[in-house]
Structure 1
Amino acid sequence: MFFSPHFPSNGADFCDRLRRAGATVLGIGDTPHEGLAPRLKHALSEYYRIGDMENEDHVLRAMGHFIHRWGRIDRFESLNEHWLEQDAAIRTDFNIPGIKRDFVENLKHKSKMRDFFDKAGIETIRQEKYVDRAGVEAFIARVGYPIVIKPDQGSGASNTVKLEGPADLDAFEQTRRPGLSYVCEQFIDGIVLTYDGLVDRHGRIVFAASHRFEQSIMKVVNADSHLNYYCLPSVDPEVEKAGRAAIAAFDIREKFFHIEFFQTRGDQRIVALEINMRPPGAWMTDAINYAHDMDVYRAWAEMVVHDNAGGPYAGRYFVGYASRKNHIRYVNDHQAILRAFGGKIVHFAPIEKVFSRAMGNFAYQFRSKDFDEVKAIVRFIQAVES
């Protein structure tokens, strides 16, 4: 059972590979059947449209329909962090293998993740739940400015701010969203390195990759700027060590994983940021494919259906992502980019509006065995008129 197979759009890739692996794929979503992509229609044996995907009764009615028609459901997945809690509830109610209600809180809240990182022996950012201004000021007295305040639950950098001094704290107090739970974190000066991959039903990591973010996503979102990042052909050994320890501590099985670490600029320490039991977002699954000349959608499906992800898969290329924003004036237009680097560009397309604040309005992916060349392409695409 695939929940929300139509959104994000790469749900069609996951459903297609499941069907090719021999699974019967059923879908629940809120888009009319005629609005589904042809490839997705072909992948789904049946699709049930509901009016409100947040409505538990609607979802339960769809489940009842499918169980009556098809029998016991073997897996329930959305591969989407937004539906993490609902996925766990359905698995619990219908005794479907996977993450259940009793564990999902540990994956939803950044404050709860710390216990598992501590268990794994991985350094974590100094953090405290935001209760009131007095508590924040006491935290600042211990760690000093700057600090970062972010929602305890959620992905991306929405509602995340960096406070440089008392005036920023005053501003945050005036604008923070009531009812939203926040955490305060010590600011880490570093880059983000991810540990992304697949862990099988026995707890074995069967594939791993890594992305490098030299920009702050928080700064990109708050400044409404463009984004770039890189998929690397190999995983930093210290990231690999920390990532494996985290997977073992969380004891996650038969899932994608996406773990974010800071690598400090000064002494290159690896510091845990957060863990997500889903594929890396945006175009990162495709970046993995371009970097490793593989089909990670197929590897996941084969792992779920046949307990065999294939491989081993070797990284061959550095893959870059560079987005552009509609409100920014760039030196080089689209045709100039294609003339200069057409042989290196593997994909370009508009970004879905819901993701555009962080990911840009339009983006390019490109690859090379030369990291310096990939960085040069980023500079060419994102060169801004003075």
Structure 2
Amino acid sequence: MNFVFFSPHFPGSSTEFAIRLHEEGATVLGIGDAAYDSLDPRLQRALTEYYRVDSMEDEDRIVRACGFFTHKYGRLDRFESLNEYWLETDARIRTDFNVYGTKADFVDNLKQKSKMKDFFQASGVDTVRFLKNPERESAAAFIEQNGFPVVVKPDLGSGASMTYKIRNQGELDYFFHTRPQDIEFIMEEFIDGIILTYDGLIDQSGIVRFQASHRFDQSIMKVVGDDDHLHYICLDHVDPEVERAGRNILRAFDIRERFFHIELFKSNKDGRLIALEVNMRPPGAWMTDSINYSYDVDVYSLWAKMVVHGGCGDPPSGHYYTGYASRKDRKHYAHSHQEIVQSLGDSLVRYDEIEAVFSRASGNRAYQFRAKTLDEVRGMVAYIQEER
């Protein structure tokens, strides 16, 4: 298999995926903007060849790189970045070179939140009521029906960038006065609840080969807006209701041979499970490693086996709850790093700084830890993030 890995060096987890592809026998061909000498030596060894470009936005240069690889190695079998930001580039290159996977004529359904909702409805899973391209008059009618607060976010994009919780008329007027005119927004009803994810691997035949689930008690929108610290927990099981909804969504999108990350609200008001977003990529913020620690697996290897060989064995069972708790440099915490290390002991599995581009949502540095019970992990979160 000739696998072109677009941006194999960033984010950091991409290196692990590229290495596992090489270990499974794929010819891994990298395209990136980093100097070759700056790449992780393990990644250098995994890449058969690396084509450096000055800009990842220069699609003409990317096309030339793929042409070079085709001439030298033969037909390209896959082109992937495993990155939300590059989904459209991935799809256009696959279309141009007739590479297996999502093509340019479908990718908007995976990028635009308004188009996702048609598939959610087809899946039979409840979805958030929304208004596309809100203007003052249509927004007033939407709010009259649904009430304040409402959420306004870009129709195209990922994460919580430019996402606002609007609580009253004054905040709504301010949004319309300051909104960027070159960005299309959607307005959604506000759901008070937690986020449960459905994460895993689906093969070329549409068979789910692995599944896991994370719980977010915090709103990412609020974390980003308040510049707050973040925590989440990888569960040791997938709730049957989450699994049923997730599999229905996968069928509606007809997703094949992907790492998937589906976000669902669990309403505090009535317990409803409500589809929020679908992401056809690995989850971020150390969640792939959370899965590894909860299930005692190497999910990077499971993915590579699925892509190269079409399968990855029997799905493993979960053994632990794995927590992630970040810290912000601007905050003053009750316990020092050394105290945390001593307190958590063998439960602590990772501590590291967060890449600056992700720090607003994911924190400046973070701890990862696991235990047999949810209460134990919640106690560790509280200890790490207790403020003075």
| TM norm structure 1 | 0.99
Q: After TM superposition, give the deviation of residue 282 of structure 1 in Å.
A: 1.7
Find out whether 1:218 has 2:221 as its counterpart: yes
- 1:131–1:164 Cα change, 3 Å: closer
**Aligned residue identity for 2:167:** E
| Aligned-partner SS, 2:126 | coil
Q: How far apart are the structure 2 equivalents of 1:338 and 1:171? A: 45
Q: How far apart are the structure 1 equivalents of 2:177 and 2:225? A: 17
1:278 to 274, 277, 281: 281
Q: Which residue of 2 aligns with 1:91?
A: 94
Find out whether 1:297 has 2:300 as its counterpart: yes
**Aligned residue identity for 1:207:** F
1:312 to 310, 315, 319: 315
1:118 to 121, 124, 127: 121
| Aligned-partner SS, 2:57 | coil
Name structure 2 gaps, 5 residues minimum.
none
Runs of 4+ in 1 over 6 A off after TM superposition: none
Q: After TM superposition, give the deviation of residue 170 of structure 1 in Å.
A: 1.6
**Aligned residue identity for 2:305:** E
Q: Which residue of 1 aligns with 2:201?
A: 198
Matches within 5 A, 1:247-262: 247-262=250-265
Q: Which residue of 1 aligns with 2:246?
A: 243
Name structure 1 gaps, 5 residues minimum.
none
Deviation string, structure 1 residues 344-371 (Cα, Å, up to 9, x no partner): 1000100000000000000000000011
Q: After TM superposition, give the deviation of residue 133 of structure 1 in Å.
A: 1.4
Q: Which residue of 1 aligns with 2:31?
A: 28
**Aligned residue identity for 1:188:** I
Q: How far apart are the structure 1 equivalents of 2:368 and 2:344? A: 11
| Aligned-partner SS, 2:105 | helix
Contact 1:81 1:278 survives alignment (8 Å): yes
Q: How far apart are the structure 2 equivalents of 1:180 and 1:293? A: 43
Contact 2:234 2:291 survives alignment (8 Å): yes
| Aligned-partner SS, 2:124 | coil
Q: Which residue of 2 aligns with 1:183?
A: 186
Deviation string, structure 1 residues 10-32 (Cα, Å, up to 9, x no partner): 11100000000010100000001
Q: How far apart are the structure 2 equivalents of 1:300 and 1:340? A: 34
Find out whether 1:329 has 2:332 as its counterpart: yes
**Aligned residue identity for 1:215:** Q
Q: After TM superposition, give the deviation of residue 325 of structure 1 in Å.
A: 0.3
Contact 1:111 1:183 survives alignment (8 Å): yes
Q: After TM superposition, give the deviation of residue 155 of structure 1 in Å.
A: 1.2
Find out whether 1:345 has 2:348 as its counterpart: yes
**Aligned residue identity for 2:380:** I
| TM norm structure 2 | 0.98
Deviation string, structure 1 residues 77-125 (Cα, Å, up to 9, x no partner): 1000100001000111101000001110111100001111111111000
Find out whether 1:269 has 2:272 as its counterpart: yes
Q: Which residue of 2 aligns with 1:368?
A: 371
| Aligned-partner SS, 2:282 | coil
Contact 2:134 2:187 survives alignment (8 Å): no
Q: How far apart are the structure 1 equivalents of 2:299 and 2:180? A: 38
Q: Which residue of 1 aligns with 2:66?
A: 63
Q: How far apart are the structure 2 equivalents of 1:131 and 1:218? A: 19
Q: After TM superposition, give the deviation of residue 312 of structure 1 in Å.
A: 2.1
Q: How far apart are the structure 1 equivalents of 2:318 and 2:106? A: 33
Q: Which residue of 2 aligns with 1:140?
A: 143
Q: How far apart are the structure 2 equivalents of 1:376 and 1:10? A: 28
1:151 to 154, 158, 174: 154
**Aligned residue identity for 2:85:** H
Q: How far apart are the structure 2 equivalents of 1:149 and 1:221? A: 14
Q: Which residue of 2 aligns with 1:233?
A: 236
Q: Which residue of 1 aligns with 2:83?
A: 80
1:12 to 12, 15, 38: 15
Q: Which residue of 2 aligns with 1:354?
A: 357
Q: After TM superposition, give the deviation of residue 266 of structure 1 in Å.
A: 2.5
**Aligned residue identity for 1:106:** N
Contact 1:200 1:255 survives alignment (8 Å): yes
**Aligned residue identity for 1:332:** H
Q: After TM superposition, give the deviation of residue 132 of structure 1 in Å.
A: 1.4
Identity of aligned residues (%): 57
Q: After TM superposition, give the deviation of residue 267 of structure 1 in Å.
A: 2.2
